[in-house]
Structure 1
Amino acid sequence: MHHHFGVKLHGVVDVQLIHNATLRKDLRWRLWSLDAVITTSELLSDSERHTWTQTKHNGTKLYQPHKGGSYEVFNQRPMSQEIIDYCVNYVKLLI
């Protein structure tokens, strides 16, 4: 961030690096995406994982152009419940 934009970050936690530190050494060869961490997490039940994946899928098709969506859905007010659920879907699991 500093190199590209001149922004100095303070108090930022990198969840990718935290996750990487919890892995066995033979699995640390790459950084996992948040999707991969969530879908492989043992903290979620099968039902919770299914709900998370379905919510992600529903939101993704609304905003990704190659899936028939438009980024404009993030500017519409009031926001649709599907977009709100999509955004909350990621943030609630960061804790």
Structure 2
Amino acid sequence: MEYCFTPENQSKTKICAGGEMQGVTGGDSGGPLAVVRNNRWAQYGVTSYGRFTGVQGKTDRLISHGVFTRLSAYCEWINKTTKGEVKCQ
């Protein structure tokens, strides 16, 4: 988990998330980081890159952490570009 808490992977413009058998894989770049909030899907980020590590003693398990662009850091640009069609907070 140390990977997620380095300054370059967790900041005002980046979110790091993942875990054992969770996270990103090849081809995920550009995809969403989404969660259910108030019974609706909300997108928090866009996949940028990731890292895999093995789970000690388990050859069939991986720990994956993805680094995502934090959408809230770009709300002004998103609102302007979409002319308010996309709600950003």
TM-score above 0.5, yes or no: no
- Normalized per residue, the structure richer in strand is 2
TM-score by length of 2: 0.26
TM-score by length of 1: 0.25
Instruction: Pick the structure with greater CA Rg.
Output: 1
- Normalized per residue, the structure richer in helix is 1
Q: Which has the higher contact order (CA 8 A, sep 6+)?
A: 2
